[in-house]
Amino acid sequence: EQEQSQAVENASLQDLTPVEGDIVIRTEKLNKYFGDKHVLKDINFEVKRREVVALIGPSGSGKSTLIRCLNALEKGTSGEIYIQGERLNPNLPAKQLSPMRRELGMVFQNFNLFPHMTVLQNVIEAPLLVRKLSKDQAVALGESLLAKVGLLEKRDVYPGRLSGGQKQRVAIARALAMQPRALLFDEPTSALDPELVGEVLRVMKDLAYEGSTMVVVTHEMQFARDVSDRVVFMSDGSIVEQGDPDELFRRPKEKRTQLFLERVL
């Protein structure tokens, strides 16, 4: 009983106490080449605890590559990445990388749920294996997270029976189950039918208002403007401009930002 309520209490992100200047993610002059192609150019990127950062920019500007580097899914060519002040060494074997990878929960465009597992099993798989929770603790945690994303009644259903919006909400619950320091979203609504976008943005908004630390790559400019604390505009591998969402959308300083916003707004 007590264990279960503990697991439920743990169902939100770790350690939400705001600490001034507390930096969850930082890159220092991060560069990435694919062959001859220079796709990240001296990226200095920082995310503070409880901050919601919207990462916007044209297709091919390096947004996905940047967030994949943060999780060592890609290896930077030069420069440094720090997660919670600890240097990420992407050359370490997967086993040694995994504790740092766990600090960041990833949500991708295409959900990546396990098709042969029920919704609940998808959510509790990693906590059972990696966090070594008991079955009861993991189920309690999984149920509380499914309730949080509005899908408790789907706990025993297989992903194939869910809509895209429901799948993405399960993917968010699954990311949360590892109690990451921050959530990284890569175009989480881009694969969805328009009528399903809202339910996913709603869940993300709730997380933001609860004080979750989030990086969101998105084409949803209204979401970026309403929900984020800071917008970062990337183009051609560089951070061109960043700042307060209202300020950046109303009065972009750089020509490239102006041209991009004219096209998408």
CB of 34 to ligand ADP, least distance (A): 3
Shortest distance, CB of residue 187 to ligand ADP, whole angstroms?
8
Nearer to ligand ADP, 37 or 132 (CB): 37
Beta sheet of 37-48, edge-to-edge order: 37-48, 23-34, 78-83, 86-87
User: Which residue number, 65 or 144, has a Cβ lying nearer to ligand ADP?
Assistant: 65
Applying CB under 5 A, what is the total number of residues that bind Mg ion? 1
**Based on the number of CB atoms within 10 Å of its own CB, is 142 exposed (0-12), middle (13-18) or buried (19 or more)?**
buried
CB of 185 to ligand ADP, least distance (A): 12
Q: Please identify, using beta-carbon distances, which residue of 12 and 77 lies nearer to ligand ADP.
A: 77
* Cβ nearer to ligand ADP, comparing 35 with 93: 35
How far is 116 from 114, CA to CA, in rounded Å?
A: 6
Alpha helices in 112-240 (DSSP H): 119-129, 135-148, 164-176, 194-209, 221-227
Provide the minimum distance between the beta carbon of 153 and ligand ADP in the complex, in angstroms, as a whole number.
Answer: 35
Which residue ranges make up the site for ligand ADP (CB under 6 A)?
A: 34, 37, 39, 57, 59-65
Shortest distance, CB of residue 186 to ligand ADP, whole angstroms?
7
62 binds, among Mg ion, ligand ADP, none (CB under 5 to 8 A by kind): ligand ADP
Q: How far apart are CA 57 and CA 52, in angstroms?
A: 17
Q: Is 121 in the site for Mg ion (CB under 5 A)?
A: no
Q: Which one of the spans 61-69, 136-144, 196-204, 241-249 is the region binding Mg ion (CB under 5 A)? A: 61-69
CB half-sphere exposure, 42, CA atoms < 13 A: 1
- Round to whole Å and give the CA distance between 122 and 173: 9
Identify which of residues 34 and 114 has a Cβ nearer to ligand ADP in the complex: 34
Q: Which of 64, 168, 213, 242 binds Mg ion (CB under 5 A)?
A: 64
Q: Which region among 62-70, 121-129, 157-165, 228-236 touches Mg ion (by CB under 5 A)?
A: 62-70
Give the other-Cβ count within 10 Å of 130's Cβ.
Answer: 13
34 binds, among ligand ADP, Mg ion, none (CB under 5 to 8 A by kind): ligand ADP
As measured in angstroms, the least distance from the Cβ of 115 to ligand ADP is 25
Residue 189 binds Mg ion (CB under 5 A): no
Of 22, 30, 23, which Cα lies nearest the Cα of 72? 30
Judged by the rule CB under 5 A, the positions of this chain that interact with Mg ion are 64
